[in-house]
Amino acid sequence: MASTDHKTQLRHKAMAARSEIRGHQRQAATARAAHHAFSRLKYTSGIVGLYQAFRDEIHPDEIAERLHHTGRRLALPTTPRYGHPLTFRSWAPGDPLVVGRHNIPEPAPEAEEVHPQVLLVPPVAFDRRGYRIGYGAGFYDRTIPQLRAMHPVFTLGYAFACQEVAFLPSEHHDVPLDAIATENEIITVTGR
Ligand SMILES: Nc1nc2c(c(=O)[nH]1)N(C=O)[C@@H](CNc1ccc(C(=O)N[C@@H](CCC(=O)O)C(=O)O)cc1)CN2
Ligand SMILES: Nc1ncnc2c1ncn2[C@@H]1O[C@H](COP(=O)(O)OP(=O)(O)OP(=O)(O)O)[C@@H](O)[C@H]1O
C-alpha cells in the first residue's frame, strides 16, 4: 500500500477512535491530560502557541486558563492558504476571535503576530517516536523549522491516548514532537 493511502487509513481510524470519547469520559480524560500537559509546560518559557479545538480534538481550554493565570503569554494559529506556514497571533482567554479558514476561530488580524517558543500541537494520530499526522496540509511541518530558525522551540503533542498508533510512516520533512501529553502519561521523545 502506498504510504499516503496508509496514512489516510490511519488518519480515519484515529479520528473515529477519538470521536467515541464522549460526555463524562471525555471530560475526565481532558482534565487528566490537562494536568499532565501543564506539569510539563510549567518548566518551559516563552510564548505558548495553543489551538482552538475543532472536530473532536481534545480541547486545551484548561491549559490556556492555567497558563494565563501564571502570567504566560499565549497565541493561536491562523490558518493560511495551502503550502504556507501557520502564523500565530497573540491571544488570551476571553479575547475576541473571528472565523478563519475551515471555520476555525482565530485572533482578529489586528492582534499582534508573535513567534512562539512552545507549541501545543494537536495530532490526529501519533506514535512513540513523536511522529504525527494532522489533516494532511503539512502546516506544522512547515512552521516548526521556520520558528526554530529564530529560536529554540519545544513542541508538545496533545491528544487522547486512543490516537496513538504503533508506527507512522515518516517522510523527510516530518518533524517529530519533543513530547506528547495524553490522559495517561507524558511520552518523552527528545531531550529538549
Ligand atoms: N484546532 C486546530 N487548529 C488548527 C490546526 C489543527 O490541526 N487543529 N491546524 C493544523 O495545521 C491548522 C488548520 N489546518 C487544517 C488543515 C486542513 C483542514 C481540512 O479540513 N482539510 C480537509 C482536506 C482538504 C483537502 O484534502 O484538500 C479535510 O480534512 O477534510 C482543516 C484544518 C491551524 N489551526
Ligand atoms: N516542510 C515542508 N516543505 C514542503 N512540503 C511539505 C513540508 N511539510 C509538509 N509538506 C507537504 O505537505 C503535505 C502534507 O504533509 P503531511 O502528510 O505531513 O501533513 P500532516 O502532518 O498530516 O498535516 P498538518 O501538519 O497540517 O497537520 C505533503 O504533501 C507534504 O509533502
Percent of the chain with pLDDT over 70: 99
* Closest-approaching ligand to the CA atom of 51: 1
List, chain by chain if needed, residues with CB within 6 Å of any ligand 2 atom: 133-142, 173-174
pLDDT tens-digit readout, 150-160: 999 999 999 99
pLDDT tens-digit readout, 64-92: 999 999 999 999 999 999 999 999 999 99
In short, whether 102's Cβ falls inside 6 Å of ligand 1 is yes
Distance from Cα 94 to the centre of ligand 2, integer Å: 32
pLDDT tens-digit readout, 93-130: 999 999 999 999 999 999 999 999 999 999 999 999 99
* pTM exceeds 0.90 for this model: yes
Distance from Cα 131 to the centre of ligand 2, integer Å: 12
Q: With a cut of 70, say whether residue 1 has pLDDT above it.
A: no
Write the DSSP assignment of the chain as a string of letters: --HHHHHHHHHHHHHHHHHT--HHHHHHHHHHHHHHHHHHHTT--SPEE-----TTPPP-HHHHHHHHHTT--EEEEE---TTS--EEEEE-TT--EEE-GGG-EEE-TTSPEE--SEEEE--SEE-TTS-EE-SSS-HHHHHHHHHHTTS--EEEEE--GGGB-S-----TT----SEEE-SS-EEE-S--
Distance from Cα 101 to the centre of ligand 1, integer Å: 9
* Closest-approaching ligand to the CA atom of 176: 2
In short, whether 17's Cβ falls inside 6 Å of ligand 1 is no
* Closest-approaching ligand to the CA atom of 133: 2
pLDDT at res. 114: 98
Report ipTM (2 d.p.): 0.93
Specify whether the CB–CB gap between 87 and 126 falls below 8 A. no
pLDDT tens-digit readout, 131-174: 999 999 999 999 999 999 999 999 999 999 999 999 999 889 99
